Amino acid sequence: EDQVTQSPEALRLQEGESSSLNCSYTVSGLRGLFWYRQDPGKGPEFLFTLYSAGEEKEKERLKATLTKKESFLHITAPKPEDSATYLCAVQAGGFQKLVFGTGTRLLVSP
Amino acid sequence: DTGVSQDPRHKITKRGQNVTFRCDPISEHNRLYWYRQTLGQGPEFLTYFQNEAQLEKSRLLSDRFSAERPKGSFSTLEIQRTEQGDSAMYLCASSPGQSTGELFFGEGSRLTVL
């Protein structure tokens, strides 16, 4: 069964303190790995899609990387507005459904 | 606003009652998804439509749940004989035909079953 595990569950950073979030996965025939951001009371917001090991994507202070077993979301010099829950999801070949992890709650203090 | 719209945003009901949620996707998107999310968990897949055809359905979706997309535009999710375990946020998402995995989510419909 496809599975996604995210760590840590929660992370507290000072503004400007860089860190990484981890997403480990097992999936039958990875079609894509996705990162979403979710603010309280809102639906998830798409950030990145990664398709193959070695691929990297960047957006502002965020950089996502992918290996054959895990993905990392690197946050460089975070700001308080980066505070949110970051969700990782995988999609298996032949299916449309995404399997999500439980997320990492990030709090960035000024 | 041209995003995904869900209605109602909040619903409180008594156990055993039926509830229906509506989702209006982004107009040019032919793919529509329903997910369920409980506190502290990630979204859990329920079902997927391409146009009016329901092509994927989670094994977790009991017979009390039914979803329709009659004209390939808006969709409804009905829960019959609600149980306390059905309390959750029900999220709708849509995507264009050529996209894979980049879903546009609505703000959800929160269900509380007393």
* Mean per-residue pLDDT over chain A, rounded: 95
First to last CA, chain A: 41
Q: Is the pLDDT assigned to residue B22 strictly greater than 60?
A: yes
Q: Given an 8 Å threshold on Cβ–Cβ distance, is B100 in contact with A95?
A: no
Q: Given an 8 Å threshold on Cβ–Cβ distance, is B41 in contact with A42?
A: no
B36's CB contacts (< 8 A; 6+ apart) are B43, B44, B46, B88, B89, B90, B91
pLDDT for B100 equals 65
pLDDT digit string (tens) for B41-52?
Answer: 999 999 999 999
Q: Does A27 touch chain B (CB under 8 A)?
A: no
3-state secondary structure of A55: coil
Pairing mode of beta strands B109-113, B10-13: parallel
Share above pLDDT 70 across residues of chain B, in percent, rounded to a whole number = 96
Q: Given an 8 Å threshold on Cβ–Cβ distance, is B100 in contact with A49?
A: yes
3-state secondary structure of B58: coil
Min distance B17 CA to chain A CA atoms (Å): 25
Is the peptide bond preceding residue A8 cis, with omega within 30 degrees of 0? yes
Question: Please, which residues 11-50 of chain B have a Cβ atom closer than 8 Å to chain A?
Answer: 31, 33, 40-45, 48
Q: Given an 8 Å threshold on Cβ–Cβ distance, is A99 in contact with B58?
A: no
pLDDT digit string (tens) for A58-76?
Answer: 999 999 999 999 999 999 9
Residue B59 binned pLDDT confidence (cut-offs 50, 70, 90) = confident
CA–CA gap between residue B27 and residue B95 (Å, rounded): 10
CA–CA gap between residue A90 and residue B10 (Å, rounded): 29
Q: What is the DSSP letter of A41?
A: T
The answer to whether residues A4 and A69 touch, using CB atoms and an 8 Å cutoff, is no
Residue B108 binned pLDDT confidence (cut-offs 50, 70, 90) = very high
Closest CA relative to residue A71, chosen from A55, A95, A91: A55
The answer to whether residues B16 and B36 touch, using CB atoms and an 8 Å cutoff, is no
Q: Is the pLDDT assigned to residue B2 strictly greater than 90?
A: no
Least confident of A13-27, A61-75, B98-112: B98-112
pLDDT for B54 equals 93
Residues of A in contact with B107 (CB under 8 A): 41-43
Least confident of A55-59, B43-47, B57-61, B86-90: B57-61
Minimal Cβ distance to A91: which of B40, B91, B101: B101
Minimal Cβ distance to A103: which of B42, B45, B102: B42
Minimal Cβ distance to B101: which of A34, A41, A43: A34
